[in-house]
């Protein structure tokens, strides 16, 4: 984790974790709400502190582009809520999708996906990914997982779906699709924006990576643009 946060293990229930996971008020002047840190850089306590931060012997903030306290608290909270091994906050939901799939297809390849997708994702798949030698294959049998394996090609790097599609609310059998993905040695990436971990936890049903537009149900108010990868 990239910021200075409480890394102790606490057995929070889901409702408590929504409010408290990843945050210790006594580390932030006892502010009830996590502060928004608007600084670009952070001071070092000492020369040794600087050395330890740059060699990753000590966790902390150095430069806001690679992490700050506000983002670190958010990352730890979604990590706990999703039961993930780690989480990364990014600038938008589309950034979360792009970061994830571009990493999985580095050097080219294909993503097998569902026809039931958010419009912004469709546009991104049509206009951006082909520029990086990445092919997007839309599955004809995404709702019949037993037939889906036939559509996986040698260069397929991942399967990408939405747990509850935006905007039509189409549901897929995540566990069955995960089984197909894993049988072929590729990860399943699930956009869980609409459901959030409150309604559905893809990692508990076989998904390997979960992405969110935090702009929508996670923030609850539509007043922030943010994305998360778990």
Domains in the chain: boundaries: 14-82, 89-229
Q: pLDDT-based confidence at 13, cuts 50/70/90?
A: confident
Within 13 Å and on the Cβ side, how many CA atoms surround 70?
A: 13
C-alpha to C-alpha distance for 8 and 34, rounded to whole angstroms: 18
E strands, the chain, where?
88-90, 109-113, 134-138, 156-162, 188-191, 209-213, 227-229
Beta carbons within 10 angstroms of residue 32's beta carbon? 8
Q: Give, in order, the Cα–Cα distances in Å from 176 to each of 58, 119, 147.
A: 41, 25, 11
Rounded mean pLDDT of 64-74?
85
- Return the pLDDT at 69: 84
Residue 6 has pLDDT above 50, yes or no: no
- Return the pLDDT at 4: 43
Residue 38 has pLDDT above 90, yes or no: no
- Return the pLDDT at 49: 94
Q: pLDDT-based confidence at 33, cuts 50/70/90?
A: confident
DSSP 73-93: HHHHHHHHHHT-S--EEES-H
CATH of domain 89-229: 3.40.640.10
CA angle (86 as vertex; 82, 88 as ends), nearest 5 = 95
- Return the pLDDT at 17: 75
CA angle (189 as vertex; 152, 182 as ends), nearest 5 = 50
- Return the pLDDT at 10: 67
- Return the pLDDT at 68: 86
The pTM is what?
A: 0.85
Q: pLDDT-based confidence at 1, cuts 50/70/90?
A: very low
| Span 81-140, pLDDT tens digits | 999 999 999 999 999 999 999 999 998 999 999 999 999 999 999 999 999 999 999 999
Q: Which of 123, 138, 136, 135 is nearest to 93 (CA)?
A: 123
Average pLDDT, the chain: 90
Give every CB contact of residue 11 below 8 A, 6+ residues apart in sequence.
none
% of the chain with per-residue pLDDT over 70 = 95
Report CA torsion sign: 163, 165, 168, 170. Answer: negative
Residue 3 has pLDDT above 80, yes or no: no
- Return the pLDDT at 5: 44
């Amino acid at each position: 984790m990239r910021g200075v946060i409480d890394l102790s293990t606490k057995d929070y229930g889901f409702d408590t974790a929504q409010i408290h996971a990843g945050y210790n008020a006594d580390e932030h002047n006892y502010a009830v709400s996590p502060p928004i840190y608007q600084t670009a850089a952070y001071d070092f306590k000492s020369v040794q502190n600087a050395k330890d931060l740059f060699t990753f012997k000590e966790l902390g903030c150095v430069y806001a582009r690679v992490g700050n306290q506000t983002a670190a608290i958010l990352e730890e909270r979604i990590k706990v809520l999703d039961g993930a091994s780690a989480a990364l906050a990014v600038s938008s939901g589309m950034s979360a999708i792009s970061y994830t799939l571009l990493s999985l297809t580095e050097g080219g390849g294909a993503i097998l996906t569902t026809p039931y997708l958010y419009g912004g994702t469709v546009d991104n798949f049509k206009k951006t990914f082909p520029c990086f030698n990445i092919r997007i294959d839309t599955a004809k049998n995404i709702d019949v997982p037993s037939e889906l394996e036939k559509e996986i090609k040698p260069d397929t790097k991942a399967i990408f779906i939405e747990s509850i599609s935006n905007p039509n609310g189409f549901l897929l059998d995540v566990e069955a699709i995960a089984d197909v993905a894993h049988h072929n040695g590729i990860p399943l990436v699930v956009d869980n924006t609409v459901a959030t971990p409150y309604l559905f936890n893809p990692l508990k049903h076989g998904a390997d990576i979960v992405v969110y537009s935090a702009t929508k149900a996670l923030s609850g108010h539509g007043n922030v643009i943010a994305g998360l990868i778990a």
